[in-house]
Structure 1
Amino acid sequence: MRFAGNVIWFVLGGWYIALLWLLGAALFALSIVGIPLTIAALQMASLSAWPFGREVVHVRELDGRGVSATTAVTGTIGFIVNVIWALTFGWVLFLAYLVAGLLCCLTLIGIPFGLQAFKLAGISFWPVGRRVVTSELATLAREQAAKAKFASYRGATT
């Protein structure tokens, strides 16, 4: 089912929005400051072209300790770079996904595609510090992060 959803999504315009991500990646690759955006935009372009069966998780959810090796990219620098992205390509991608989602939701069979577009719209503003993973890995990472947080509330260590 994922394969069929991905093929339909790609044919009906997923490739087009992925090109916007690639354009942003190419422009930000020209500067050293834009390298974190380039990496994030390339991952999001892949997700935009083939979204079903994959999800986006924050890097802290993937690291069992809650601290990532890329803390600098998710900290203050990540915040600044994400603001730059939101002001340049983020709002364009948000509008593209919003229009795509609304068009998809006009038909009953298009509703799952519309919901996917709305999910991608939210991600389009803040891509740095997130990773594209399989749905199974995302579920496992979120469960592990929830267990660690619960243990910290109880005062236990994991």
Structure 2
Amino acid sequence: MSCLGNVIWFIFGGLYGWLAWMLAGILWSITIIGIPIGLQCFKIASMSLAPFGKEVVYEHTNTSFLLNVLWIFLSGFWLAVGHLVSAVLLCLTIVGIPFAGQSLKLAQLSFMPFGAKIVRS
């Protein structure tokens, strides 16, 4: 079922989320200091493309807290807003509610991407 969910997700909004995360990753990777942040964006972009069958596990450290605070002000807020708008639009139909749940999972990940590990469920 996760394969079918990922195909439908790709058609109805997964591509846009993937493009947003890839753009953020490319912009962060322009500087040498931003490369680790860009790499995390690329990891999350792969989840944004196919979120079904994947879970997020958080492991907080002091470094991840500082990076998350910086991230929220520079990129995370706008990515989270995009995922929240997507979730609201997907909730307009009953069929879209499971997809809205995935979009909300990505919105939370948009606020706290550092210290997060993506695992298969």
Q: Answer yes or no: same fold by TM over 0.5.
A: yes
Give the structure 2 partner of residue 89 of structure 1. 75
- Residue 124 of structure 1 aligns to a residue whose secondary structure is helix
Unaligned runs of 5+ in 1: 61-73, 136-158
> For 1:51, what is the secondary structure of its paired residue?
coil
Tell me which structure has the larger Cα radius of gyration: 1
Per-residue CA distance 1:24-59 (angstroms, 9 max, x = gap): 11111122332221121111101111000011112x
Aligned runs of 1:1-158 on 2, under 5 Å? 1-58=1-58, 60=59, 75-135=61-121
- Percent identity over the alignment is 44
**Take 1:56 and 1:79, find their aligned partners in 2: how far apart are those partners?**
16
- Stretches (4+) displaced over 6 A: none
Counterpart-to-counterpart distance in 1, 2:36 and 2:66: 11
1:15 partner amino acid: L
TM-score by length of 2: 0.92
Length, aligned pairs only:
121
- How does the TM-score come out when normalised to structure 1? 0.71
